[in-house]
Amino acid sequence: MGTASDIKLIDENGLRIDGRSPTELRPLKIETDVLDRADGSAYIEWGGNKILVAVYGPREAYPKHTQDIDKAVIKARYNMSAFSVDERKRPGPDRRSVEISKVISEALQAAVMVEQFPRAQIDVFIEVLQADAGTRIAGLTASSVALASAGIPMRDLVVGCAAGKVDGKIVLDLGKEEDNFGQADLPMGILARSGKIVLMQMDGDLTEDEFNQATELIMDATRRIYEIQREALAGKYRAMAIERGGE
């Protein structure tokens, strides 16, 4: 969260710097099966974010001491490419990417039927090609689709979405300037059908009332994002049917 108070993020008509209303998402599209070698994959464009996700597994967890005798372990690895941001990002893991990998792994663990695969690991590689605020929730949203496209049994899809506070107003899905100069950012991961929250972080400050407003915006957007996820997966099955028809 920035401190520059002279930057106006909401105009006199209540519109945001990119012309959106407070409850509007940035443009969002998801594709599946974009990588041949992965067991499942997805590509997401969400605002200026461009993120690829590759899923491998379930396969025997290695090294062996990482195995869980009761369930599969999900290992998400979030990585920002050097060219994904304005100033070159130093390659390799850093504290931020380790933290994001951990919270995404935990969120996905809640959605996958991990108990069906004792001693296995499922790898989820999240490569941020272009970053524009909200990469963790975009990465999470795409990861969930990539897992489903790998045919991994899931109890639900996870939807990632954020809301925040800019110029004293609660708004959905912060863009880059809003993230930099706004007052709060609240990214969440939600199980689409049950509504259970599986990721929640917060940067900045919100009152209880503002927090409730932000959560409401996120919950409402979850339904819209879930439809886009389902559509991406339905597209995959339609394509498979056409392939089979042509055999």
3-class SS string, the chain: CCCCCCCCCECCCCCECCCCCCCCCCCEEEEECCCCCCCEEEEEEECCEEEEEEEEEEEECCCHHHCCCCCCEEEEEEEECCCCCCCCCCCCCCHHHHHHHHHHHHHHHCCECHHHCCCEEEEEEEEEEECCCCHHHHHHHHHHHHHHHCCCCECCCEEEEEEEEECCEEEECCCHHHHHHCCEEEEEEEECCCCCEEEECCEECCCHHHHHHHHHHHHHHHHHHHHHHHHHHHHHHHHHHHHHHCC
Residue 173 as a binder of ligand UDP (CB under 6 A): the answer is no
Name residues whose C-beta falls within 8 Å of residue 228's C-beta, 6 or more positions apart in sequence.
28, 29, 30
String marking each residue 90-129 x if it binds ligand UDP according to CB under 6 A: ------x---------------------------------
Smaller CB separation from ligand UDP, 23 or 130:
130
Comparing CB distances to ligand UDP, the nearer of 57 and 160 is: 160
Name the one range near ligand UDP by CB under 6 A: 17-25, 34-42, 131-139, 229-237: 131-139
**One of 133, 171, 190, 232 touching ligand UDP (CB under 6 A):** 133
Name which position in 9, 89, 147, 158 contacts ligand UDP (CB under 6 A). Answer: 89
Contact status: 179 vs ligand UDP (CB under 6 A): yes
- Residue 135 in contact with ligand UDP, rule: CB under 6 A: yes
- From 67-75, 130-138, 149-157, 207-215, give the range in contact with ligand UDP by CB under 6 A: 130-138
- Considering only 132, 173, 178, 210, the residue that binds ligand UDP (CB under 6 A) is 132
When binding is defined by CB under 6 A, the residue of 16, 20, 26, 136 that contacts ligand UDP is 136
Which of residues 115 and 205 has its CB atom nearest to ligand UDP in the complex?
A: 205
Residues engaged in binding ligand UDP (CB under 6 A): 85, 89, 96, 131-136, 176, 179, 187
